[in-house]
Amino acid sequence: MGMAIEIYDENNLRDLPEAQRFSMCERIIKNDSDESKRWDAVWLIGELAENRDPEDPMFIKSADLMEWVLKNDDNGVVKHEACYQIAGRNMRSKIPALVESALNDKSILTKHEAIESLGLMRAFDAIDLIRDAEIDPSIDVRETARFVIKRLQRLQNQGEYKPAEIL
C-alpha cells in the first residue's frame, strides 16, 4: 500500500525511466534555488523507494539522497519532507541522520518532524537520544519529544514498524 497523496508533476517526471527520473530529481534537489521544486523532487524520489526491499539499489540511492537533503538543504520545509519520506518508506539506515536532525538542526520544523519520524519508525534504540530534545529551547520540539517518548514506550512490545500500518 502506497501513500495516498500524489503531488503535481508539472514536468511529467513520473513518465521517465526510473534512473532518469532519479537523476532529474537529484539535480533539482541539489541545484535548484526554488524550495517548492526541491520539495516536489524529494516527494518524487520517495515514490521511487516505495514498496522496495531495503537492499534494492534504488531504495538505497533514494535513502542516501534523503540524508543528503537533511545535511545540506537550507530550507526547513524541504528537510521536513525528507524526514517524512524517511519514515514513510521505513528507511531504517537513516535513523542516525534523523537523530542528528532532531537534536542539532537549526529549523524547529525539521527537529519536530525528525523526532516524530523516529516515533513513527518505532526507533526504540533512539529513546535516550530523543530525551535530549526534551530540553530544547523550542516548546514545540520539547512537546514532540515528550509525546514520541511516551508513544514509543507504549509501543515497545507491539512489533516492527510497517509503513502501511503507520498508526
The pTM of this model reads 0.88
Per-residue model confidence as pLDDT tens digits over 32-63: 999 999 999 999 999 999 999 999 999 999 99
Per-residue model confidence as pLDDT tens digits over 108-164: 999 999 999 999 999 999 999 999 999 999 999 999 999 999 999 998 877 665 655
pLDDT class of 165 with cuts at 50, 70, 90 = low
| Per-residue H/E/C for the chain | CCCCCCCCCCCCHHHCCHHHHHHHHHHHHHHCCCHHHHHHHHHHHHHHHCCCCCCCHHHHHHHHHHHHHHHHCCCHHHHHHHHHHHHHCCCHHHHHHHHHHHHHCCCHHHHHHHHHHHHHCCCHHHHHHHHHHHHCCCHHHHHHHHHHHHHHHHHCCCCCCCHHHCC
Please give the CATH number for the structural domain made up of 13-165. 1.25.10.10
Q: Which grid cell is 9?
A: 508533476
Q: Do 118 and 127 contact (CB within 8 A), yes or no?
A: no
Q: Give 146-150's long-range contacts (Cβ < 8 A, gap of 24+).
A: 147/119, 148/115, 148/116, 148/118, 148/119
The rounded radius of gyration (Å) of the Cα atoms in the chain is 16
Domain residue spans in the chain? 13-165
Q: Do 161 and 126 contact (CB within 8 A), yes or no?
A: no
